[in-house]
Amino acid sequence: MGRALASVPRKRDLVRPDAKATGYRRILSWHASTGVWLVAGALFLSATGITWSQFGGQNVTDLRAALSWQAPTLTTALPGAGAGAASAADPHVGHHASAAPTTTPAVDPATFDDVLRVARGVNVNTGLVEITPPKDASTAWTVSEIQRSFPTEVDQVAVDGSTLQVVGRTDFADYPLPAKLARWGIDTHQGSMFGLPNQLLLAVTALGIAAMVVFGYLMWWKRRPGVARPGRPAPAGALVRAPWWGIAAVVAVGVGVGLSLPLVGIPLVGFVLLDALITAARVHRAGAPA
């Protein structure tokens, strides 16, 4: 009990800056407490933002496809025209590349109202809709809900413009849970899920992360070479002195992150190699005869 009580002040310092600290310790206190408050938001932004990255995002897409975690695909092929599908149900469509140019057949403006009326009778309920004419004579019109705020409305309908027959539909209620979570996560990341409170929280998180970066550089400047440093520096080689299972866990996590996110893994490998070279050079100088 005494040890627990003695640790309370230190735990309290993790969630609020130490007002008594000065210099380097003061900056460290602000850096640490800010990080504790922002860790959940930073991890959320990282996890949802990775899906848009070129390499890591493709790995996420491949994983979702392998586990059948993708959103249903809307069928737009007209009967007798062969297989065809639209990909607008995917929350990441349009984030990686532009669509190839196609020749769009002539469109009667009145058809917009006709297909919207049909879609209203199927599953389109919100006023926020996107109507897409067919890209060629073998595909259907699509009517897509685009309400990204809560409650999410992203149902879709494919309608034959000549017969006004429904040829396909997707319903958000039928999405697998991982696909729903992806949709909600992306909309929250973009600030559209919960409106102004969502956007304010994102702004505070972004400013906090920027402040942590500034605190980090200030700490580095305070401990730059040639400046007196209070206290003893942390000893090098902590990982080497760790138990085998600790080393294995760190290596496993590093390899997993590096393979999943190459643009994180490559700098990580470079940092480890550079640190090893610097440590080896210091050991060599320390052991050299005077």
Average pLDDT, consecutive stretches of 10 residues, N- to C-terminus, the chain (290 residues):
40 78 90 94 94 88 92 93 54 52 74 97 96 95 97 97 97 96 96 97 98 94 73 64 87 89 89 83 74
Domain parsing of the chain, residue ranges: 1-69+177-227, 71-175, 239-290
What pLDDT does 282 receive?
80
What pLDDT does 7 receive?
38
Residue 91: cis peptide before it, omega within 30 degrees of 0: no
What pLDDT does 288 receive?
64
Q: Give the integer Cα–Cα distance in Å for 158 and 170.
A: 9
What pLDDT does 6 receive?
38
Instruction: Answer whether 0.75 is exceeded by the pTM.
Output: yes
What pLDDT does 94 receive?
47
Cα 214 to Cα 32, 46, 183, 221, 264: the distances in Å are: 13, 19, 33, 11, 21
What pLDDT does 151 receive?
95
Tell me the sheet residues that pair with 19. Answer: none
Both tokens assigned to 130: 């996107």
What pLDDT does 103 receive?
60
